[in-house]
Each structure stands twice: as structure tokens, then as C-alpha cells.
Chains A and B, each alone.
Chain A
Amino acid sequence: MILETSIDVLPIVSIIFGFQFLVIRKPIPNLKRVVIGFVYVLVGLSLFLLGLEQALFPLGRLMAEQLTNPAFIYGDLTAVPSAINWGDYYWVYLFAFAIGFSTTIAEPSLIAVAIKANEVSGGAIGVWGLRRAVALGVAVGITLGCFRIVSGFPIHYFIISGYVVVVIQTFFAPKMIVPLAYDSGGVTTSTVTVPLVAALGLGLAETVPGRNVLIDGFGLIAFASLFPIMSVMAYAQISEYVAKRSKKINLN
């Protein structure tokens, strides 16, 4: 596992040190500390992935398969109707929402960005507030994405309407949050979320009649990276509104 992670990290390390020694040509401040930090990141990420593979992924994947199985949804295979009703998949939506939220909370790259944003904003953006806002966005996104697979609507209608909402929100959201909100879309989907969500999408596309695994199995990640943009801007708008209102009350 450590070997695998090292191979993934190798290009990054060689680019950084290559440029540091050949172009910048200055010693790295606190070199020893930085190297130890890299080793920590490497060991940490390896342990993290090993643990996920051992404990959570097999169970999560199995669960995604079982929950999307028509035998579970209709209680009995003989009870499966020929035309499915999207409302019958309520356990799937609930699972999608819960797994989207909880995996995003544990996502290491989101933790990193939240720490940085908190530091740069001088505490105005809370680490937990941002993480919860992003997690809520991912949860809603994945739930809608599952609904899309079940109902069979074309993906681009959802994504394009999402873009319209993002553009409108951009004009009203506080200026300082906009770049961070755009970033949070890409940050959310990595180590923990992608494998579990992908299993859910493939499970659904395989079992819902009339869906093609190869075509409909994709697209959940796109939902998961679009909706946090909205939820983070909404979070900033709501906190701004609350702050303004409490100020008004204090003045009165």
C-alpha cells in the first residue's frame, strides 16, 4: 500500500524538488521539517486507504448493490412491475443522501482546503461550517443524481440548470466566498467519496430496467461537484444575512 501511494506521489515530489533545485536554486526553508511532513502525508494516506479498503469499501459496495437490487426494493422478485416508479427507490435516495454527506465530512482534501480557508479568512469562514455546507451540497447532488438514473432524464438538463443557478447566485453571494465556492466543487470528490458513489451509480444503472451501465452509470460525480458550489454560496449568503440582522437588532 505504501509502495502504491509512493508511486502516485512520485511525479509530484519530482516536479517540486526538480523546480526547487534547478529553477529556484535556493535551499528550502526548514527542509527537514518539510521532508518529515511529506513522509507523514505518505504514511497517513496509505494507512487511510488501507483502512478504507479493509473496513468501509467492501461493506459500502455490497450495501449499494443490495439496496439497488429490485428484489429488495419490491420485497420479492415476482412483485417487480414492468414499468418502475421512481418513488419506489426511496431507500436508495436516503442512502445516497446519507453516504454523500458522511463521506464528504471525512474527505481529507476538503479538510485541507477548509483549514486553509479558515486561516486565510482570519476565522471568518469556519472549518466546520464550510465542511458541513459542502457535505450538504454533495448529499443533495448525489440524491438528485440517483433520481436521474432511476427516472432516466438526460444528464445535461440537470447540469445546465445547475449552471444557471450558480451564475445567478454568483451575482448575489458575498465576493470573498465566490472563488472558494467554485473550488469546493472539485475538492469534494476524491478518495472516500468516489469509490462508494461510483458503486451506487453502477448498481443503479445495472438494475433499473432500460438503463445502460456504461452510459447511465456515469454522471454522479458531476452532480457531486456541482451542488457544493451552490450550497457554499448559500451558506455564505445565510451567514451574511444572519450577521446583518443581529447587528440591526443590536442597534435597535
Chain B
Amino acid sequence: MQTALFALFKSMLGSLRDLLPIIIVIAFFQLAVLQQPIPGFSNIIIGTLFIVLGLTFFIYGLEMGLFPIGESMANAFARKGSVIWLLIFSFCLGFGTTVAEPALIAVAEEASEIAAMGGMIQNNTDAMESYADGLRFTVAFAVGLAIVIGVLRILKGWSIQYMIMGGYILVVIMTAIAPKEIIGIAYDSGGVTTSTITVPLVTALGVGLASAIKGRNPMTDGFGLIAFASLTPMIFVMAYGMII
């Protein structure tokens, strides 16, 4: 019991160390640059305690739950040998985790405002809502497809750089022809899609697959799924902007 408590205390200290840079930055700018007192000091102390506790629990849970389940599923799929089911699973994982992502919902709503202002769609709530939903499903589809492509790459052992470069070329071409208003959102949509729970799961899936398949190296083949998931949404969002 005592050793467990000690371990918890130690990892909480680690989390506090992770958090320290933000605290220093905010305190410095508030006190030295803006020269204002820190409002609600006790709230900040309690909040910081929550963050430290939360980060500690998250990392515990990561190693107990998220990593093992991702890897054991990758193993099970590799042993089962059914590529189709693996790809369906990959698509569902990408699509399902993205479609409900709060950051994406927020971005889609803002994008619909831009579209309405720019005269691309009618300026009423119905048109804006359907535009935002369409965008959300487009991004989710793009992420699902990305995980499928990434998993196929691991299975076949394709080299990642040429695929990513091909993606970059597509992004550049699309940038030249897509409406100007959508470009900023499209570029951002690549970054916002990957949430805190999706990342460890998808990483464990990739590394697990690359370890389970003969001839694949977990380091060079296992990583790279997230890279696809942040590239395809850019292409698809620009395409969406061109069609609508």
C-alpha cells in the first residue's frame, strides 16, 4: 500500500513537472508584461491540482487500458487473417472517433458562418446547419479512409514518404483551385481531428500490427497512421468547398 502511494505521489510530481512550463509562462506574462494581479488565486490552485491528478490518472489508464487493447486487437486481427474485417474496423475507428469530436464540431460551425458570409451558401440557419454537418461527415470520412490507407500500408509494407509526398502534392494542387475562404479551415482541419483518446489507440493499433506481421518493423512501419489522418481531411475539406 505504501509503495503504491509512493508511486502515485511520484507520478503526480511528474505530471506537475509537465505542467510547470505553462504556469511559469502565464504567471510571467500576467505579472511582468501585463502587470496585473492574478485573479481568483484559489481557483487556480484547485484547478491545477485537478489537472495534475487528471494527467496522472490518464497516463496510468493509458498503460493499463488503451495501449493493451489496441495491441491485443491488432494481434487478434493479424492472427485471424481477415483483411476485410481489419479494414472495416480501421474505417469505423477513424470515422467513429472523429464524427463526434467536439473540436471538429466547433470548426464546422465556424466554417458554415464563413461560407454564408462569402455567399457560397444561403445565409440562413438551415443552410448553415446542413453545410456544417456535411463538412463534419466529410472530415470523418477522410479520417476513416486515412486509417484504412495507413493500415493497408502496414500490411503491404509500402514506404510512407512517397505516400505523404503524394498527399502534399494533392494539397498544393487543391489549394490552387479551391475557393480562398475554405483554405484556412481546410489546413486547420488536419490538426484538430485527432483527439486525446484516438491517438494512443491508433498508435497502439499500428505498432501492434507491425509487430505481429512478419517482416515489418514496429518503428518504421508501425507509426504513420496519425500522419495520414491529418493529411486526408485537408484534401477532402477543400474538395467539399469546391463542390458546394
- List residues of chain A with CB under 8 Å of any chain B CB: 7-12, 14-16, 19-20, 23-24, 26, 28-30, 33-56, 59-60, 63, 66-67, 72, 91, 95, 98-99, 101-103, 105-106, 108-109, 111-113, 115-117, 120-121, 155-156, 159-160, 163, 166-167, 170, 175-176, 178-180, 182-183, 185-192, 194, 214-222, 224-225
Contact = CB atoms under 8 A, between A and B. Distances in A.
B25 interface: yes
A187 B185 contact: no
Contact of B73 (A24, A55, A190): A24
A108 B117 contact: no
A239 to B, nearest CB: 15
B61 A40 contact: yes
B198 A12 contact: yes
A41 B62 contact: yes
A56 B47 contact: yes
A11 B197 CA distance: 11
Contacts of B225: 183
28 contacts: A7-B100, A12-B201, A15-B89, A15-B96, A19-B73, A19-B85, A40-B64, A44-B61, A48-B55, A49-B54, A51-B47, A60-B26, A102-B25, A106-B21, A112-B67, A113-B199, A116-B207, A170-B165, A179-B221, A179-B224, A187-B194, A188-B191, A191-B196, A192-B22, A214-B113, A214-B114, A218-B185, A219-B187
B65 A41 contact: yes
B120 interface: no
Given A41-B58, A221-B188, A52 B200 contact: no
A99 B110 CA distance: 24
B194 to A, nearest CB: 5
B100 A116 contact: no
Contact of B49 (A16, A34, A51): A51
Interface string B27-40: 01110011000110
Given A19-B73, A33-B68, A59-B38, A225 B223 contact: no
A46 B97 contact: no
A180 B199 CA distance: 13
Contacts of B152: none
A160 B175 contact: yes
Interface in B36-59: 38-39, 43-59
Nearest to A53: B47
B19 A167 contact: no
Contact of A183 (B103, B161, B184, B224): B224
Contact of A112 (B18, B49, B62, B190): B62
A9 B34 contact: no
Given A67-B34, A167-B165, A218-B187, A44 B55 contact: yes
Interface in B97-150: 97, 99-103, 110, 113-114, 117
B220 A40 contact: no
A225 B190 contact: yes
B59 A111 contact: yes
Interchain residue pairs A-B with the least CB separation, the first 3:
A37-B65, A55-B47, A40-B61
B66 interface: yes
B239 to A, nearest CB: 16
Given A51-B50, A175-B220, A108 B190 contact: no
B192 interface: yes
Contacts of A102: 21-22, 24-25
A115 B55 CA distance: 14
B213 interface: no
Point out which of B24, B113, B184, B220 has the most chain A C-beta atoms below 10 A from its C-beta.
B184
Given A26-B76, A41-B61, A115-B63, 12 more contacts: A19-B73, A41-B57, A55-B51, A98-B28, A101-B21, A105-B18, A155-B183, A175-B220, A178-B220, A179-B160, A183-B203, A194-B191
A8 B195 contact: yes
B155 interface: no
B156 interface: no
A55 B99 contact: no
Contacts of A115: 59, 62-63
Contact of A23 (B62, B89, B103, B190): B89
